[in-house]
Structure 1
Protein backbone atom coordinates (compact mmCIF):
# COMPACT_ATOMS: atom_id res chain seq x y z
CA UNK A 1 0.00 0.00 0.00
CA UNK A 2 1.28 3.44 -0.92
CA UNK A 3 0.88 6.43 1.35
CA UNK A 4 0.80 9.80 -0.31
CA UNK A 5 1.76 12.90 1.64
CA UNK A 6 -0.88 15.52 0.92
CA UNK A 7 0.29 18.52 2.86
CA UNK A 8 -1.26 21.74 1.68
CA UNK A 9 0.99 24.75 1.75
CA UNK A 10 -0.71 27.60 3.57
CA UNK A 11 -0.46 30.98 1.94
CA UNK A 12 -1.27 34.44 3.18
CA UNK A 13 -3.90 36.10 0.98
CA UNK A 14 -5.31 39.20 2.64
CA UNK A 15 -7.05 40.27 -0.56
CA UNK A 16 -9.18 37.13 -0.52
CA UNK A 17 -10.07 37.81 3.13
CA UNK A 18 -11.12 41.35 2.21
CA UNK A 19 -13.19 40.05 -0.73
CA UNK A 20 -14.85 37.56 1.60
CA UNK A 21 -15.99 40.38 3.89
CA UNK A 22 -17.01 42.74 1.08
CA UNK A 23 -18.95 40.02 -0.75
CA UNK A 24 -21.61 40.40 1.93
CA UNK A 25 -22.78 43.52 0.08
CA UNK A 26 -24.18 41.20 -2.60
CA UNK A 27 -27.23 40.96 -0.33
CA UNK A 28 -28.23 44.42 -1.51
CA UNK A 29 -27.98 43.38 -5.17
CA UNK A 30 -29.21 39.77 -5.27
CA UNK A 31 -30.86 39.29 -1.88
CA UNK A 32 -29.02 36.06 -1.10
CA UNK A 33 -25.48 36.38 -2.51
CA UNK A 34 -24.16 37.80 0.75
CA UNK A 35 -24.45 34.36 2.31
CA UNK A 36 -23.71 32.08 -0.65
CA UNK A 37 -20.52 33.73 -1.96
CA UNK A 38 -18.70 33.98 1.43
CA UNK A 39 -19.78 30.41 2.19
CA UNK A 40 -18.27 29.14 -1.08
CA UNK A 41 -15.09 31.19 -0.56
CA UNK A 42 -14.73 29.88 2.99
CA UNK A 43 -15.36 26.24 2.13
CA UNK A 44 -12.99 26.22 -0.84
CA UNK A 45 -10.05 28.01 0.76
CA UNK A 46 -10.26 27.47 4.53
CA UNK A 47 -7.44 24.91 4.42
CA UNK A 48 -5.14 26.81 2.08
CA UNK A 49 -5.33 30.47 3.21
CA UNK A 50 -4.05 31.63 6.58
CA UNK A 51 -6.91 33.12 8.61
CA UNK A 52 -9.67 32.14 6.20
CA UNK A 53 -11.23 29.68 8.65
CA UNK A 54 -11.58 32.36 11.34
CA UNK A 55 -12.78 35.08 8.95
CA UNK A 56 -15.13 32.76 7.06
CA UNK A 57 -16.78 31.49 10.22
CA UNK A 58 -17.32 35.03 11.47
CA UNK A 59 -18.87 36.12 8.15
CA UNK A 60 -21.21 33.12 8.05
CA UNK A 61 -22.19 33.62 11.70
CA UNK A 62 -22.88 37.29 10.99
CA UNK A 63 -25.04 36.52 7.96
CA UNK A 64 -27.03 33.88 9.84
CA UNK A 65 -27.51 36.33 12.72
CA UNK A 66 -28.82 38.99 10.32
CA UNK A 67 -31.27 36.49 8.85
CA UNK A 68 -32.46 35.64 12.37
CA UNK A 69 -32.86 39.35 13.23
CA UNK A 70 -34.98 39.84 10.10
CA UNK A 71 -37.10 36.75 10.79
CA UNK A 72 -37.77 38.01 14.33
CA UNK A 73 -38.18 41.65 13.29
CA UNK A 74 -40.85 41.23 10.63
CA UNK A 75 -43.50 39.71 12.93
CA UNK A 76 -42.26 42.03 15.67
CA UNK A 77 -43.65 44.97 13.71
CA UNK A 78 -47.09 43.92 14.91
CA UNK A 79 -45.98 44.40 18.54
CA UNK A 80 -46.29 48.17 18.73
CA UNK A 81 -43.77 48.56 15.91
CA UNK A 82 -40.81 47.30 17.95
CA UNK A 83 -39.75 45.10 15.05
CA UNK A 84 -38.94 48.25 13.07
CA UNK A 85 -36.16 49.02 15.56
CA UNK A 86 -34.71 45.54 15.12
CA UNK A 87 -34.85 45.84 11.32
CA UNK A 88 -33.15 49.25 11.43
CA UNK A 89 -30.47 47.81 13.73
CA UNK A 90 -29.91 44.88 11.35
CA UNK A 91 -29.75 47.25 8.37
CA UNK A 92 -27.14 49.47 10.00
CA UNK A 93 -25.08 46.46 11.04
CA UNK A 94 -25.22 45.00 7.53
CA UNK A 95 -23.90 48.27 6.08
CA UNK A 96 -21.18 49.09 8.60
CA UNK A 97 -19.70 45.82 9.88
CA UNK A 98 -18.48 44.28 6.59
CA UNK A 99 -16.51 47.45 5.75
CA UNK A 100 -14.95 47.62 9.21
CA UNK A 101 -13.95 43.97 9.11
CA UNK A 102 -12.61 44.25 5.55
CA UNK A 103 -10.23 46.93 6.81
CA UNK A 104 -9.33 44.73 9.79
CA UNK A 105 -8.63 41.82 7.42
CA UNK A 106 -6.39 43.96 5.22
CA UNK A 107 -4.42 44.95 8.33
CA UNK A 108 -4.04 41.31 9.40
CA UNK A 109 -6.33 41.62 12.43
CA UNK A 110 -9.00 39.21 13.63
CA UNK A 111 -12.63 39.90 12.69
CA UNK A 112 -15.05 41.33 15.22
CA UNK A 113 -18.75 41.47 14.37
CA UNK A 114 -20.97 43.23 16.90
CA UNK A 115 -24.14 41.43 17.98
CA UNK A 116 -23.30 38.14 16.31
CA UNK A 117 -24.55 34.79 17.56
CA UNK A 118 -21.98 32.01 17.13
CA UNK A 119 -23.74 29.29 15.17
CA UNK A 120 -20.44 27.88 13.87
CA UNK A 121 -17.58 27.76 16.36
Structure 2
Protein backbone atom coordinates (compact mmCIF):
# COMPACT_ATOMS: atom_id res chain seq x y z
CA UNK A 1 0.00 0.00 0.00
CA UNK A 2 1.35 3.42 -0.92
CA UNK A 3 0.27 6.82 0.33
CA UNK A 4 1.24 10.09 -1.30
CA UNK A 5 1.94 12.84 1.24
CA UNK A 6 3.46 16.16 0.13
CA UNK A 7 5.22 14.60 -2.86
CA UNK A 8 6.71 11.85 -0.67
CA UNK A 9 5.54 8.34 -1.45
CA UNK A 10 5.09 6.24 1.68
CA UNK A 11 5.17 2.50 1.28
CA UNK A 12 4.32 -0.29 3.68
CA UNK A 13 7.34 -2.54 4.12
CA UNK A 14 6.91 -4.90 7.05
CA UNK A 15 9.95 -6.93 6.02
CA UNK A 16 12.20 -3.90 6.47
CA UNK A 17 10.67 -3.30 9.91
CA UNK A 18 11.39 -6.92 10.87
CA UNK A 19 14.98 -6.67 9.59
CA UNK A 20 15.43 -3.47 11.56
CA UNK A 21 14.34 -5.20 14.77
CA UNK A 22 16.44 -8.29 14.11
CA UNK A 23 19.53 -6.23 13.25
CA UNK A 24 19.89 -5.58 16.98
CA UNK A 25 21.34 -9.09 17.25
CA UNK A 26 24.48 -7.87 15.49
CA UNK A 27 25.82 -7.08 18.95
CA UNK A 28 26.21 -10.81 19.50
CA UNK A 29 27.99 -11.31 16.15
CA UNK A 30 30.16 -8.21 15.71
CA UNK A 31 30.01 -6.49 19.10
CA UNK A 32 29.01 -3.06 17.82
CA UNK A 33 26.43 -3.25 15.02
CA UNK A 34 23.33 -3.51 17.20
CA UNK A 35 22.97 0.25 17.49
CA UNK A 36 24.59 1.48 14.29
CA UNK A 37 22.70 -0.65 11.74
CA UNK A 38 19.17 0.08 13.09
CA UNK A 39 20.11 3.75 13.35
CA UNK A 40 21.21 3.87 9.70
CA UNK A 41 18.10 1.99 8.53
CA UNK A 42 15.84 4.28 10.55
CA UNK A 43 17.48 7.50 9.36
CA UNK A 44 17.45 6.48 5.70
CA UNK A 45 13.88 5.18 5.54
CA UNK A 46 11.87 6.96 8.24
CA UNK A 47 10.25 9.25 5.68
CA UNK A 48 9.49 6.58 3.10
CA UNK A 49 8.24 3.55 5.08
CA UNK A 50 4.99 3.58 7.04
CA UNK A 51 5.70 2.96 10.74
CA UNK A 52 9.49 3.16 10.45
CA UNK A 53 9.70 6.34 12.52
CA UNK A 54 7.86 4.74 15.45
CA UNK A 55 9.75 1.45 15.25
CA UNK A 56 13.11 3.14 14.73
CA UNK A 57 12.69 5.44 17.72
CA UNK A 58 11.71 2.48 19.88
CA UNK A 59 14.77 0.49 18.78
CA UNK A 60 17.19 3.37 19.36
CA UNK A 61 15.68 4.12 22.77
CA UNK A 62 15.98 0.44 23.69
CA UNK A 63 19.62 0.22 22.61
CA UNK A 64 20.52 3.41 24.49
CA UNK A 65 18.72 2.03 27.57
CA UNK A 66 20.74 -1.19 27.35
CA UNK A 67 23.95 0.84 27.17
CA UNK A 68 22.82 2.79 30.24
CA UNK A 69 22.08 -0.48 32.09
CA UNK A 70 25.62 -1.66 31.29
CA UNK A 71 27.14 1.62 32.45
CA UNK A 72 25.24 1.31 35.74
CA UNK A 73 25.69 -2.46 36.11
CA UNK A 74 29.45 -2.80 35.71
CA UNK A 75 30.40 -0.43 38.56
CA UNK A 76 27.47 -1.85 40.51
CA UNK A 77 29.22 -5.20 40.60
CA UNK A 78 32.26 -3.69 42.26
CA UNK A 79 30.44 -1.51 44.74
CA UNK A 80 27.29 -3.37 45.67
CA UNK A 81 27.42 -6.78 44.04
CA UNK A 82 23.89 -6.22 42.78
CA UNK A 83 25.15 -5.01 39.42
CA UNK A 84 25.27 -8.61 38.25
CA UNK A 85 21.46 -8.65 38.48
CA UNK A 86 21.29 -5.56 36.28
CA UNK A 87 23.58 -7.22 33.72
CA UNK A 88 21.54 -10.45 33.74
CA UNK A 89 18.34 -8.42 33.35
CA UNK A 90 19.74 -6.46 30.42
CA UNK A 91 21.09 -9.64 28.81
CA UNK A 92 17.71 -11.34 28.98
CA UNK A 93 16.01 -8.24 27.62
CA UNK A 94 18.46 -7.97 24.72
CA UNK A 95 17.78 -11.59 23.73
CA UNK A 96 13.99 -11.75 24.00
CA UNK A 97 12.55 -8.30 23.29
CA UNK A 98 13.88 -7.77 19.72
CA UNK A 99 12.42 -11.11 18.57
CA UNK A 100 9.04 -10.34 20.15
CA UNK A 101 8.94 -6.94 18.47
CA UNK A 102 10.03 -8.39 15.12
CA UNK A 103 7.00 -10.68 15.28
CA UNK A 104 4.82 -7.70 16.21
CA UNK A 105 6.21 -5.73 13.27
CA UNK A 106 5.45 -8.58 10.87
CA UNK A 107 1.86 -8.58 12.13
CA UNK A 108 1.55 -4.80 11.73
CA UNK A 109 1.46 -4.02 15.46
CA UNK A 110 3.24 -1.26 17.35
CA UNK A 111 6.47 -2.09 19.17
CA UNK A 112 6.64 -2.30 22.94
CA UNK A 113 10.04 -2.42 24.59
CA UNK A 114 9.99 -3.23 28.29
CA UNK A 115 12.36 -1.30 30.53
CA UNK A 116 13.14 1.42 28.01
CA UNK A 117 13.87 5.04 28.76
CA UNK A 118 12.59 7.52 26.19
CA UNK A 119 15.64 9.41 24.98
CA UNK A 120 14.09 10.17 21.57
CA UNK A 121 10.39 11.00 21.49
Does the TM-score normalized on the shorter chain lie above 0.5? yes
- Tell me the residue number matched to 2:67: 67
Q: 1:79 Cα shift?
A: 2.6
Q: Distance in 2 between matches of 1:80 and 1:111?
A: 34
Task: Give the drift of 1:84.
Answer: 0.2
Q: Counterpart of 1:100 in 2: which secondary structure?
A: helix
Give aligned pairs, total: 116
In structure 2, how many angstroms separate the alpha carbons of the residues matched to 1:99 and 1:112?
Answer: 11
Q: Which runs of 4+ in 1 moved over 6 A?
A: none
CA RMSD in angstroms, aligned pairs only? 0.8
Deviation string 1:29-84 (CA, Å, 9 cap, x unpaired) is 11110000000000000000000000000000000000000010000001331000
Please name the residue that 1:3 is paired with.
none
Structure 2 SS opposite 1:113: coil
2:9 counterpart SS class: coil
Q: Distance in 2 between matches of 1:24 and 1:76?
A: 25
* Superposed CA offset, 1:12-32 (max 9, x none): 000000000000000011111
The answer to whether the aligner puts 1:26 opposite 2:26 as a matched pair is: yes
Residue of structure 2 in register with 1:38 after alignment: 38
Q: Which has the larger radius of gyration?
A: 1
Q: TM-score, normalised by structure 1?
A: 0.94
**Deviations along 1:76-102, whole A, 9 cap, x unmatched?**
001331000000000000000000000
Residue 56 of structure 1 corresponds to which residue in structure 2? 56
| Secondary structure at the counterpart of residue 10 of structure 1 | strand
